[in-house]
């Protein structure tokens, strides 16, 4: 960080780290932290605080084998549901899943842009293989990198309300110390930021926190499709298994099997509409994951029994293309 003009702070633990980046962002700087394994669990409480206070920041989680200390240097994708539901209460999250060092760079920038635009902590859900991988990364000139910054108030200081939403349901954000009245709390609050301890206020706030993400899914969700136009079988994947899936699909095509790929770049919010569309026209959706089956449950929910949903769970190591191809062949008549 010092080499690029940034500041690095070593906090005493992951709880403090999450608090520190929320405070730094509240003061007007772009902030992030990174963790793995149990550290992600410790950050979840204050991740929820960031959601409620609508503070833009970025949390990178390099997933490994768990639970508990588990296998600290072995790969995993076992935190995907924790990313969505790890903090208590109703809320929506944004989480991106890179499959290469280049995407780690690109997606971290996108995570910052999304956090600033929609005022919330954004997750980058990578895995140990990507975290330790060495590959070429092209870093563009600074002038070619698109950056988004939070909307600032344009009203007089006495008229500013910390949580008054605009048309997109996202409030403009004054920095602490800029002279505006900044009132913020983890409690249910009104548009001024004062606690509002009643069911009506809570329902109104929670609906807005969810809708500011759900109503903008077309802007938030990114994905990659290959050969899905005529596919009888689609491999739905994310993160590092996508690289093996691409090879498996190419090999299947060479053998005359019409296989396709749907790679989730944005894993949360989940692309329900696309999964439902593919379920209505394919023989099977195959889901390789380095866990015991997590995102596959979302696929099953969206497929609604209209096609087979076949998990390929694995623990501690990457799928080989042959393993995915074998399942493709078993599904193909």
What was the pLDDT predicted at 249?
A: 98
Report phi then psi at 99, rounded to 5.
-125, 15
- For residue 32, give Cα distances in angstroms to 79, 112, 143: 19, 9, 22
Query: For the chain, which residues make up each domain, given as ranges?
Result: 1-220, 224-331
pLDDT surpassing 90 at residue 4: no
pLDDT surpassing 80 at residue 333: no
pLDDT digits (tens, 9 = 90+) for 303-313: 999 999 999 99
CB 15 within 8 A of CB 42: yes
CB 286 within 8 A of CB 141: no
Cβ neighbours for 88, distance < 8 A, ≥ 6 positions apart: 48
CB 66 within 8 A of CB 78: yes
CATH topology match: 1-220 vs 224-331: yes
Torsion (CA) 57, 93, 285, 291 in degrees, nearest 10: 70
Question: What is the pTM assigned to this prediction?
Answer: 0.96
What was the pLDDT predicted at 159?
A: 94
Pairing of strands 266-268, 284-289: unpaired
Q: What fold, for 224-331?
A: Rossmann fold (3.40.50)
What was the pLDDT predicted at 253?
A: 97
Give the mean model confidence (pLDDT) for residues 279-290: 97
Which CATH architecture is the domain 1-220 placed in? 3-Layer(aba) Sandwich (3.40)
pLDDT digits (tens, 9 = 90+) for 195-239: 999 999 999 999 999 999 999 999 999 999 999 999 999 999 999
pLDDT digits (tens, 9 = 90+) for 51-99: 999 999 999 999 999 999 998 889 999 999 999 999 999 999 999 999 9
What is the 8-class DSSP label of residue 27?
T
Helix axes 295-303, 272-279, angle to 10 degrees: 60
């Amino acid at each position: 960080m010092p080499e690029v003009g940034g500041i690095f702070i070593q906090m005493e633990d992951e709880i403090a780290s999450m608090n520190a980046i929320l405070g730094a962002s509240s003061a007007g700087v772009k902030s992030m932290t990174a963790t793995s394994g149990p550290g992600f669990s410790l950050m979840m409480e204050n991740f929820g605080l960031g959601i409620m206070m609508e503070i833009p920041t970025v949390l990178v989680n390099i997933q490994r084998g768990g639970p508990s200390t588990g296998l600290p240097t072995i790969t995993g994708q076992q935190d995907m549901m924790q990313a969505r539901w790890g903090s208590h209460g109703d809320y929506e999250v944004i989480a991106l899943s890179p499959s290469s060092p280049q995407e780690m760079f690109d997606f971290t920038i996108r995570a910052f842009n999304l956090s600033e635009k929609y005022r919330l902590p954004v997750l980058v859900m990578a895995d140990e293989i990507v975290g330790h991988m060495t590959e070429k990364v092209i870093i563009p000139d600074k002038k070619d990198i698109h950056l988004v910054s939070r909307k600032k108030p344009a009203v007089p200081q006495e008229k500013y309300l910390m949580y008054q939403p605009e048309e997109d349901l996202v409030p403009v954000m004054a920095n602490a110390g800029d002279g505006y009245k900044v009132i913020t709390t983890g409690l249910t609050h009104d548009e001024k930021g004062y606690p509002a301890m009643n069911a009506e206020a809570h329902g109104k706030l929670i609906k807005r926190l969810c809708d500011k993400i759900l109503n903008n899914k077309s802007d938030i969700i990114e994905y990659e499709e290959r050969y899905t136009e005529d596919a009888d079988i689609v491999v739905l994947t994310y993160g590092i298994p996508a690289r093996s899936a691409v090879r498996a699909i190419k090999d299947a095509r060479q053998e005359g099997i019409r296989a396709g790929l749907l790679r989730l770049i944005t894993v949360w919010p989940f692309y329900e509409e696309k999964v439902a569309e593919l379920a209505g026209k394919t023989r099977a959706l195959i889901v390789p994951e380095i866990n015991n089956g997590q995102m596959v449950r979302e696929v099953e929910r969206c497929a609604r029994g209209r096609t087979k949903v076949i998990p390929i769970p694995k623990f501690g190591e990457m799928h080989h293309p042959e393993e995915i191809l074998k399942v493709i062949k078993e599904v193909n008549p």
